[in-house]
Amino acid sequence: MSLGEPREHHETIGSTNERARELAEEGAAHGALVTADEQTSGRGRQGRSWATPPGVAIAASLILREFDDLLPLRAGLAVADIAGPSALVKWPNDVWVDGKKVAGILVEAREGWAVLGIGVNVAVDVSALPPDAAAVAGTLGRDESEVEATLTELLDALETRLEQEKAAAITSLRERDALLGKSVRWDGGEGLGAGIDDSGALLVHQPDGTTTALSAGEVTLTT
């Protein structure tokens, strides 16, 4: 598997995910990549926006034609791999370092393809982001000259994580579980994070003493 070829790079674009979706519909090959120095209407999950200021962040959207239902979690692991040993994956697919969100992942899948969109704050001045983003955002704290090299690292890590046997990926996730023992709320309940099961679902201990398994895609966490 070779990820990142062919690559379409834009100085400025609305959303790399939007462009990658067009290319996927037109038949682009597995591994094709859309990147941008800046996004003017970057998309986040749950209809939110995602800020990519020029030249200081990764905005990358990969077209994949082979993937499994762990894709967002595998992507989170790959970002955590390059972010360092203290990086945690906040199920289902954010990456946090020192209590701050350094990366977001947005997977958009249809029959036959998925677009894996990844935004990583490599050298972002967090205080200059829109207020709602600045409140939670962190950065890898690298220099802006390192954005391209960081993308190369990320693609290498993704190749490894996307090919990794499922059980081994789940083991890695358990080691980087940001929600373990933490308060979790979703549209339907609340409780304490109690690990990740063998399918990749988030386990939550509920106040009534029961444990429930939340599947990514079926629930929306509010914390």
Q: Which is nearer to ligand BTN, 43 or 161 (CB)?
A: 43
Q: Which is nearer to ligand BTN, 115 or 204 (CB)?
A: 115
Q: Which of residues 23-52 bind ligand BTN (CB under 6 A)?
A: 39, 42-45, 48, 50, 52
Quick one: which of 3, 28, 33, 59 contacts ligand BTN (CB under 6 A)?
Answer: 59
Q: Which is nearer to ligand BTN, 13 or 169 (CB)?
A: 13
For 24, phi then psi, to 5°, come to -60, -45
Stretch near ligand BTN under the rule CB under 6 A, chosen from 21-29, 59-67, 165-173, 191-199: 59-67
The partner residues of 104 in beta bridges, in order of sequence, read: 94, 119
Residue 72 engages ligand BTN in binding (rule: CB under 6 A): no
Distances (CA, A) of 118 to 6, 95, 108: 17, 11, 11
How far is CA 109 from its chain centroid? 14
The span from the CA of 97 to the CA of 99, in Å, is: 5
- Compute the least distance from the CB of residue 198 to ligand BTN, in Å: 26
User: Which positions touch ligand BTN (CB under 6 A)?
Assistant: 15-17, 39, 42-45, 48, 50, 52, 59-61, 94, 104-106, 117-119
